[in-house]
Every structure is written in structure tokens, then in C-alpha cells.
Amino acid sequence: MKTHLVIPARIGSTRFPGKPLVLIKGQALLKWVIDRVRKVPGVHQIIVATDDLKIAELCQKNSIQFAMTDSELPSGTDRVYQALIKQSQKPDSNDIVVNVQGDEPLIPEQWISKLIQTLKDHPEVEMATLAHPMDWSELENMNSVKVVVNQLNRALYFSRYPIPHSRLQNKSQSPLSLKHIGLYAFRFHALEKFCKLPPSGLELSESLEQLRALDAGFQIQVIPVEGAIQGVDVPEDIQKVERFL
């Protein structure tokens, strides 16, 4: 069983065009992410999946493998799959594929390792992701994706909106939903199944690719992690990330 880390990096982000190449402390955002994932042990290969020649050039300069993918693909996960099947040898059915978002320059490599180890230890898990507790101010942030889980830590629903609705908010406690961290680990056969499905109505409505999986009956294991990290969703997040760095 091999582990493949793929970083989808699309140049035409709706909320932040050109995001992968924006400079943070003098270095491209994507390069910060690459440096993080290179620290993850036991990885067979790291690939950047992109639709842009400038991003491909950055990869060449930093000796990182890349694959050119269709700019019209509906999601980052579809880009991950296309990058893998463009190789001379497809991954094996049970190989682990991790979709590492290209806008998480502070992602701890230990979190990625935890995601990988969960699939290694639990052969019944086909898809997993990460989440952590959040405060009430984060609940109202439309750039933060929320997930509600059941007692087995399996995802019930994801949304950009505050979920679940509560008429009796007790703000002395944390919200019932968690903040989703946009990393996904798949077994390759589950990734292939996911990417052969058309985008679902829920996915298009919320602009959240993981809802395609829930809509199709996938069980998504949500792995809790401690702490919080600052991603780059909009230009205003650059200064926040620089303060952490």
C-alpha cells in the first residue's frame, strides 16, 4: 500500500484569483504548502495538480512533480484524480490518496500523518477528513466550512452556513458543529468512484465537493484534531498568516 499526496492548485479561484502564487513573506503560498508536505514521512510521491504554466514553472524550480489538469474540472478532488491517472502507472485500488489543499500554508504535517494512519489502521474507512472545535464567532464566518458529525464521528452534513440551527444557544459551551479542515484521504478505488459521479445538487448549492460523496452514500470519517490553523481564503488572510509565520 502506497501513499500519494496531491496538491490541487488552480489559478482561477473565484474568491482569490492567482492565489497559489501570491507571496507570503516573499515566498509563493504554494511553496509554503509544498515545504510542509515534504516533511510527512512514508510518502510514495507528492504531485501538484494544476492548470497553469506559471504554477508548473514553480514546481520545476523546486523539483516537485506536477501534472497539468483540465481547468474546467468541477473540484480539487477531480483534479487530484486526473493527475494520478495521467501517470504511466495508476495507483493500486487500496493505495491511500491525500488531497492536500494548496491554501493551507500552516497545516501541521502531523495532521496529515494522522489522516494517513487512520486509513492504514482501519481498512473499513474509505474516506476521511479533519475538523476541530471552534468558537461562536467562527460559526458565522461564511468562509469557514462547518461539519456536523454523529456519535461515530462520521459526517452528517457540511455547510458554509451556521449548522445546526439552535433556538437555545448556550454560548458558555462550544458550537455543536466543528470547523472542517479541507484535507481528504481516500482509498484510490473510492476516489475513482467519487470522480466518476457528476456534481450533485447539494455540492453545487453549497460549493462543497464533499457533499457529492455524502449524497452518493459515502461514509466520511471525521478525525478530530486539536488547535486551529489559519488558511488563505481571501486576500485579507495573507496578513493573518504572516503573523503566525
**pLDDT for 171-215, tens place per residue?**
667 788 999 998 999 999 999 999 999 999 999 999 999 999 999
Mean pLDDT of the 47-61 span: 94
Q: 106 near 132, Cβ under 8 Å?
A: no
- Cα-flanking dihedrals φ and ψ of residue 184, to 5°? -130, 135
Mean pLDDT of the 64-72 span: 93
With a cut of 80, say whether residue 60 has pLDDT above it. yes
- What DSSP state is assigned to residue 154? B
Mean pLDDT of the 144-153 span: 95
Q: 115 near 40, Cβ under 8 Å?
A: no
pLDDT digits (tens, 9 = 90+) for 4-27: 999 999 887 777 888 899 999 999
Most distant CA pair in the chain, distance: 56
The end-to-end CA distance of the chain, in Å, is: 35
Mean pLDDT of the 153-168 span: 88
Cα 124 from Cα 173, distance rounded (Å): 33
The predicted model scores a pTM of 0.92
Cα 42 from Cα 64, distance rounded (Å): 17
- Burial pattern 20-55, b for ≥16 Cβ within 10 A else e, equals bbbebeeebbbbbbbebbeebeebeebbbbbbbeeb
Q: For residue 204, give every residue at least 6 positions away whose Cβ sits within 8 Å of its Cβ, in sequence order, or none.
A: none
CATH topology of domain 3-244: Spore Coat Polysaccharide Biosynthesis Protein SpsA; Chain A (3.90.550)
Q: 144 near 162, Cβ under 8 Å?
A: no
| Number of other CB atoms surrounding residue 97 within 10 Å | 25
pLDDT for position 172: 64
Cα 187 from Cα 175, distance rounded (Å): 31
